Amino acid sequence: MPSKNMLPKGKRRHSVKADYRTQRDAARDAVAAELAVTEAVLYGEEVPVVKPAIPNTAVPDKRGKGYQKSGKRQQRTVETVAKELPPSAMDEDDELIVPLDVLASPGGLATRTLVATPESRGMRLDAYLAWALPEISRARAQLLIEHGQVRVNDSPGKAKHKLNGNEQIVVEGQPQPAPLRATPEDIPLSIVYEDKHMAVIDKPAGMMVHAGSGLTDDARSSGTLVNALLFHFKDKLSDVGGALRPGIVHRLDKQTSGLIMVAKSDAAHRALAEMFSERSLEKRYIALVHRHVKSERGLIDLPIARDRLRRTRMTTRVGNRYLTTASHGTPANRHPDEPEERTSRRPNDPRPARTHYTVLERLHTTAGDFTLLDLKIETGRTHQIRVHMQSLGHPVVGDTLYGAPAKIPGLKAEGTGPTLHRNFLHAAHLVLDHPITGKELDLEAPLPVELASLLEQLRALEIPAAPAKPKHAEDW
């Protein structure tokens, strides 16, 4: 006896792959659009919203008998976001902190009414909202549904509800995540410089700069640099970044150590932000990479975009673009078959990125070849140094996200864990004019103990250079 779940006769060859791919692509494009809007706020740009094409899964997608055209899709735009700070020119893994009122969407509590298009038939409600409202992610759409802010045909919506098309969907207000709390914690800080206007901290690896999303409330709200700053400086911090990020001018990646600036007044905060924008300060990094870099010094000029498949990664391999170089590390040239550049940026479009490097030391060891580099970046794309070095085939030691091995043979490791529990990337040198007094500041942070120890272990394994071969027979 046939199962009640079997498809009707004549449709048993129908596959659910198309439905799955439709929902997956819609959610992925919604995330890309949300990232583009966030970057537009930081970089002071306007981003046109590009609606992804959703195939009609209700009928076969065939150009023949029975083919139906897609219905008219809703056109929505992202509200223009005001800019108070200058455009960002951030350092590696840095992001300027924009005031919270800048990120707030005007009219954010409005009620929005949508009518599901025929193309949405078979889509989950949360996936459809993420597509129809590109300013929110699928996770935020689920949050709206959980809080009872979404109604379908006057009934409370459920995230897994499958649409039939033509339903009336009412969305009330904006998603409200659980509030984060920034409280003082007695966490030791290495203060490199401090006066009444600003401070410079040597941040250890493993410490987040401020509370973030994706973790439990306790994990998001404790152990951060902000918690330590509130304990040491109390109320003597700039509030430009809001109550959750007092004094924070820019960010440094969790697994990157080194110098990070903190503003104690709003005037100092805005002056430091302007320095980032005008690139009038100099910040240099020390990195150890795998294998020997070919040139003693060079410039890597390759655009960077977010990886479409692995969203936590950035990449220089951008879809539908040909990244060609005349020689090692030279600027990328446009292929003759590539279309002309657009004047406006779309979600996931690549951003220009430039990294200068100089070789400090080459190591030829029994554990492999390594190169110690001094790096300076002109732009501040996310993971810029890490993705640029990986694009040349030289991932940063310890950076497993970009292809570095977790273990280095011949070196000590704790149990079965990785040889290094962080990236060998350190913000070591900072030169700037004081934002208030104009006095030149030249600050340095030595390599952390774990990085210096690893370097010494590799030097101990170094293979002596072979004697040079004689050029002529009489030299024997």
What positions carry a catalytic annotation? 253
Work out the angle between the directed axes of helices 138-146 and 125-132 (0-180°, nearest 10).
120
Contact 422, 255 (CB under 8 A): yes
> What does the alpha-carbon distance between residue 190 and residue 197 come to, in Å, rounded to a whole number?
18
Strand partners, 124: 162
How many other β-carbons are positioned within 10 Å of the β-carbon of residue 201? Answer: 25
Cα–Cα nearest to 268, from 99, 438, 436: 436
**3 state SS of 429:** strand
Q: How far apart are the first and last CA of the chain?
A: 92
- DSSP code per residue over 15-63: -SHHHHHHHHHHHHHHHHHHHHHHHHHHHT------PPP---TTS---S
Contact 243, 101 (CB under 8 A): no
CA distances from 3 to 7, 8, 15, 464 (A): 9, 11, 17, 74
Cα–Cα nearest to 37, from 164, 130, 135, 173: 135
> What does the alpha-carbon distance between residue 264 and residue 11 come to, in Å, rounded to a whole number?
67
Contact 237, 229 (CB under 8 A): yes
> What does the alpha-carbon distance between residue 186 and residue 231 come to, in Å, rounded to a whole number?
6
> What does the alpha-carbon distance between residue 411 and residue 70 come to, in Å, rounded to a whole number?
60
